[in-house]
Structure 1
Amino acid sequence: MFKKILIANRGAIASRILRTLKKLGVGSVVVYSEADARAPYVEEADEAFAIGPAHPKESYLNQKALGDAIRSSGADGVHPGYGFLAENPDFCDCVEKAGATFIGPSSRWITAMGHKTKARELMVQHGMQVGSGSGLLTEDAAMIDEANRIGYPVLIKPAAGGGGIGMLPAHDESQMLKAASRARSMAERGFGNGDIYIEKLVEKPRHVEFQVLGDANGNVRHIFERDCSIQRRHQKIIEEAPAPGVARSFILDRARSIVSTLEALPYDNIGTVEMLMDQNKNFSFLEMNTRLQVEHGVSEEITGVDLVAAQIRSAAGESVADIIPQDISVSGHSIQARVYAEDPKKFLPSPGPLEKYCPPKGDGVRVETGFVEGMDVTPFYDPLLAKVIARGDNREEVTQILISALEKFQIEGIKCNIPALVKILRSEEFQSGDVHTGLVNEVIQG
């Protein structure tokens, strides 16, 4: 096991990883930008290193500053969290050069899965069903030909990066060419890589993902699925486990197939295989995230498995068989709502001071946050304030627990999306379990 782990991240995930390190008895090191100097985890960690100004390029994306912190602290492990450098193979090399272990999959799998068209090709080679799509597209003529072959509507997507950035729909040739130009520009700004491709746009699909854990010996286990269909701008805002309204036998067959595919690679740490499920319940591969997910908490709540600890133990060389119980099963239901500092109708960021910030407490309620009252929400980072996670015996009960918790969450000084979250959770569409990726627009704009 590691003696000391540096957390190369901020916010809710830094607090979450720190909690597990304390439970494991592992020394903790956090890093922070000038904007995060008052974050609670900075005081709670064993050691804390300032790494630069607020702008991510000068702090959380600054590999030199992070490498210096690793060396100065003597950390022998580095947990990247999610976002920032979590899926950057160059950062894996930076960590190793600093004398530490990157807590995540091997850089070859980060590279392979980080480029979406290459990931699709790899999965096809191993027999996984993928949706209709193209390779990389650089010329308008080729894009037009591919769109005609696939059939409109299509979705233009960046080949690198994620988080919904640069994903734009098009229903005809004119829309597609305009969207392609925008998508390239957004991808270049967001990921430093303007490569794009197109996929068939599936109408009202469900976004179902499978949590997996591998080890250094090529063994892989699944930790069941999550439904992440409730999204705004292709970004998840409500996630739940297990997926509602889908036969367990159907889900488990798909999970076993995914495990077989990943063992054939062989995959070697934590990851999530994201799938689209159409209205006929046909699954197709979307992408694979080679990191811990923002929504990992709902899987923890229904299985009792600490996924942060599991990821660390795998990176330390332990076998999946020793990490994940052989008799793991789904117990109850869990739903997570992401509370953002943003307008609840237009979903635009709302930075400013947290004049009042009182997260809810209660039975069946868990809150992950990296903020305290008096801190500022800056425009430099993702505006996620907190993740409110509810757990109970069934979906109906959990929905009510979550609504109650959100209504008790006191936030003043900025706008937040809680009114939108509550409206979605109260909607007939959500409560029936008939969820899909277009539901947010139907409920909020309808």
Structure 2
Amino acid sequence: MHDIRAIRENPTAFDTALTRRGLEPLSSSILSLDADRRGRIAHAEAAQAEQNKASKEAGAAKGRGDEAEFERLRALVSAKKDETASLQAEAAALDEQLRELLMGLPNAPLETVPVGKDENDNVEIRRWGEPRGLDFTPVEHFEIAGVKAGMDFETAAKLSGARFVVLKGGVARIHRALAQFMIDLHITDHALEETWTPVLVLSDMMLGTGQLPKFGEDSYQTREGWWLIPTSEVTLTNTVHGDLVEHASLPRRMVAHSQCFRSEAGSAGRDTAGMLRQHQFEKVEMVSITDAETGVAEHGRMTDCAQAVLERLGLPYRTIVLCTGDMGFGARITHDLEVWLPGQDKYREISSVSYCGDFQARRMNARYRPEGGGKPEFVHTLNGSGLAVGRALIAVLENGQQADGSVELPAALHPYLGGKTRLGADGKLA
């Protein structure tokens, strides 16, 4: 959420940030609403002061037996009490209106973020690995002979409808091995703290990380009022919700493997075949809680952590900076990692790593106490996939596919598969 004080101090900078996001300038209307709200508060305080004064004077009048003056002052007290209540109600309504307006506005992009309208304006900053030369025509993951028996969309549709899958046998074991490999890499090589969190959260937690109120249709709400998390970014980031932490405890670097749920609203007709876009999936998610001075550097570190997973798996990828028109709601800058999928003959997103500044912290009221003393400051938050497990499975299967329908598996996974090195054309690990 944006800081109203910053908008008051530099409305031009605020409007410039919105313009870079492709939005119209709004500082004038925001500041007008803010002025009305502050005016009501000031008038309410003045009326309250007059009420208090009249109340004291009424007591004095009664004490000296001046009934006429007492009745006049008592009527004034009643009138000022009603006026104060009315002004306070108006101020509260304007405050809620202002809060909803600020809650609905995206974060301000860093100046280094390229300006653009959509994915066509994103900028590639790194490329690693070369797509393997094949002497046969590659197919998509669900068409590989050795995969078909272990990736059952028909049974999943019977159980749950479209955009679900049942994994079995060797394919299910590879999927599990990928998650374990990612978690182990992050906690041993990257010093992230392994964390396990609920997948059901309260509305305030979804509000804190920006899924609510604007993007409620993208998530699932239970009848009991909980929300199923879209990723564990929600739970990990909200571990500091409402807290005042010591600066010495920062940065806090966490990683979690969880089930994730998305309605995929607005994606009708996109990636309907295979596992690329599912309602239920698994992710290994990284979250860092830090301060303003180290936030940008932490973003580079987190990007390196995500890239390391792909490199250990030997999967060709490229890293891009999202332009202002393609960047997520809460981000100040985002790096997307796109892995090569030979079955589609293109790079596809497998991780987004975002620096959010204090945008989420303002929504959560999460602050830290500076080491040298002084006023508490809002923490800065970052999140990134490390990686999307289902998409990593797709990439491993497609990049390792052989002409006979088998799949050669990355060496990094062999210890997690009991020494097995390949998925046979019969669907069994060997």
TM-score under structure 1 length normalisation: 0.24
Which structure features the higher share of strand residues?
1
Greater Cα radius of gyration, structure 1 or 2 = 2
Higher helix share: 2
